[in-house]
Amino acid sequence: MSARYSFAGDEFLFVELSEEMKLEAFFRSISITDRLRREAVDGVIEICPANASYQVRYDPDRLDGNRLKALLERFDTELAGNRQRTLHTRVIEVPVFYDDPWTRETLMRFRDRHQQPDATDLEYAARINGYDDTAAFIEAHSATPWFVSMVGFVAGLPFMYQMAPRERQIQVPKYLRPRTDTPRQTVGYGGCFSCIYSVRGAGGYQMFGITPMPIYDPAGAQPHIDASMIYFRPGDVVKFTPIDDARYEVLDAQAARGEFVPRVMPYVFDLDGYERDPIGYAARVKEVFA
């Protein structure tokens, strides 16, 4: 298995495992970075797994970069035979108010930066992915579970990979030019990834809806979020549930009072089981809430 190692300045080592997105590469990234974390190597400052790559920040005054590279190559080789194929994780239900007034108002302000100025982001995504209308598209977006394959961009933003055969995965381009505004907790889409914007700010992903569920908590006001301030972790499995405006109001008020309780179930994700039968596997994931 190939990997591309690249030193980034004098403090970072960047490793690309696959040029294209696939869960196999994510599991490889998680295996190597978990191993590095367990070894507690002196001089390693920060370990950042991503979708199909990872990055290590290190202190070159304590750890030689080439030694770190050799170590990571060794881990990769040693793990190749018995790479982690299962992941003890959780399934999280995320309620989504699709086609909500806030993202709609925002997207209207940035039509000049969009591929199709005379349609909403949902209408555009539905059309280019071959769905009859936005209702069918929303149904498709919320029908399959999603796999959190990276956390970042801004604080706590999850990148989510659709659990579906590649030919059925939704794909949309990013905005032609990024927006300068995105409502907090917007559910977005770019490339093959869904995301949830954790804070208000710039963004280039298409906007489909909004969740009342807080996912980043710098004030320490949300009981479901620990001292890291961040709710999601790589490996989490997400199930979107469409909600209407009335339900959104109720849940949003709960969140404002620090009383939002997400539905969460422990779960063991099995990569081989998923790859054998993605459609059947995805359908079974949803049964944890049955």
Partner 1 sequence: MSIEVLKPGLHTSIQDLGRVGHYHLGIPPSGAMDQLSLRAANLLVGNPSGAAALECALMGPELRFTEACRVAACGAEMVPKLDGERLPLNEAFIAPKGSVLSFDFVRAGARLYLAFGGGIDVPERLGSRSTYALGGLGGLDGRALRAGDRLALLPCSSRIPLRQLPEQWRPRFDAEHVLRVVPGLYEHRLSPAGRERFYAETWRVASEADRIGYRFKGDQPLEFVPREPPFGAGSDPSNIVDACYPIGSIQIPGGAEPIILHRDAVSGGGYATIATVISADMDLIGQLQPHRKVRFEAVDLPTALEARGAYRKRIAALERHFAPD
d(CA 275, CA 81): 18
Point out which span in 55-63, 236-244, 251-259, 264-272 binds partner 1 (CB under 8 A). Answer: 55-63
Kindly tell me which of 44 and 251 has the beta carbon lying closer to partner 1.
Answer: 44
Q: Of the candidates 23, 32, 52, 72, which one interacts with partner 1 according to CB under 8 A?
A: 52
CB nearer partner 1, residue 46 or residue 277: 46
**Which of 3, 41, 48, 271 forms a contact with partner 1 (CB under 8 A)?**
48
Q: Considering the rule CB under 8 A, would residue 8 count as an interface residue with partner 1?
A: yes
Pair 122, 109: CB distance under 8 Å: no
Helix (H, G, I), strand (E, B) or coil at 198: coil
DSSP assignment, residue 203? B
Nearer to partner 1, 20 or 287 (CB): 20
- DSSP sequence for 126-169: HHHTT-SSHHHHHHHHHHS-EEEEEE-SSTTPEEEEE-S-GGGS
The least CB distance from residue 247 to partner 1, in Å, is: 27
Residue 201 lies near partner 1 (rule: CB under 8 A): yes
Please name every residue paired with 230 in a beta bridge, in sequence order, or none if there are none: 216
Residue 155 in the binding site for partner 1 (CB under 8 A)? yes
Could you give the CA distance from residue 22 to residue 1 in angstroms, rounded to a whole number? 14
Nearest to 273, CA basis, from 29, 18, 23: 23
Q: Which of 35, 36, 49, 187 binds partner 1 (CB under 8 A)?
A: 49
Element (H, E) at 187: strand 186-190
β-pair partners for 94: 240
In degrees and rounded to multiples of 5, residue 176 shows phi and psi of -60, -45
Smaller CB separation from partner 1, 59 or 259:
59
- Enumerate the H helices of the chain as residue ranges: 23-39, 65-81, 101-109, 121-128, 134-143, 245-256, 271-276, 278-286
Taking CB under 8 A as the rule, which mask of x and - marks residues 123-152 in contact with partner 1?
---------------------------xxx
Under the criterion CB under 8 A, does residue 258 sit at the interface with partner 1? no
State which of residues 9, 81, 130, 266 lies at the interface with partner 1 (CB under 8 A).
9
Question: Any contact of residue 60 with partner 1 (CB under 8 A)?
Answer: yes
182 binds partner 1 (CB under 8 A): no
Angle at 135 between CA 148 and CA 176, to 5 degrees: 60
Which residues would be at the binding site for partner 1 (CB under 8 A)? 6-12, 14, 16, 18-22, 45-55, 57, 60-61, 65, 150-157, 159, 161, 166, 171, 173-174, 178, 190-193, 198-199, 201, 216, 218-219, 228-230
